[in-house]
Amino acid sequence: MPHAAYCSECGTNVYVRADGRCPMGHGPESLSNYYEVDVWPGHMGATGPSSMFTPQTLAMARWARVTLVIIVAGLLLMCCFACAISPFFFTTY
């Protein structure tokens, strides 16, 4: 049965090649949490091992949300500032 594992270099679960490396060529020292999978890649529509919510993926998702919130808040503040100062620029004397 084929094996998959978590690759710390790729940051995701990957299929383990016959030589013990991940598909991107990272060595066995980068792989952990080995498990068996039902099908090889490309068979019966399989696109990859089922992704598990690892601490690394959860941390990446958390930082992505924080970054998005900071960007949206910054854009809102810029819009509010632009609306607040616009009367000073568009008044006629």
Tell me: do 47 and 60 sit in the same domain. no
3-state secondary structure 11-30: CEEEECCCCCCCCCCCCHHH
Residues in a beta bridge with 12? 7
* pLDDT attached to residue 81: 85
Tell me: do 20 and 10 sit in the same domain. yes
In percent, the amount of the chain with pLDDT more than 90 equals 28
CB count, 10 Å around CB of 5?
19
Tell me: do 47 and 57 sit in the same domain. no
Tell me: do 41 and 60 sit in the same domain. no
Tell me: do 1 and 17 sit in the same domain. yes
The mean per-residue pLDDT over the stretch 72-79 comes to: 93
Higher-confidence residue of 5 and 52: namely: 5
Count how many domains the chain has: 2
Whether the full predicted model's pTM is greater than 0.85, yes or no, is: no
Tell me: do 2 and 43 sit in the same domain. yes
b (16+ CB within 10 A) / e for 67-91: eeeeeeeeeeeeeeeeeeeeeeeee
Domain residue limits at 28: 1-52
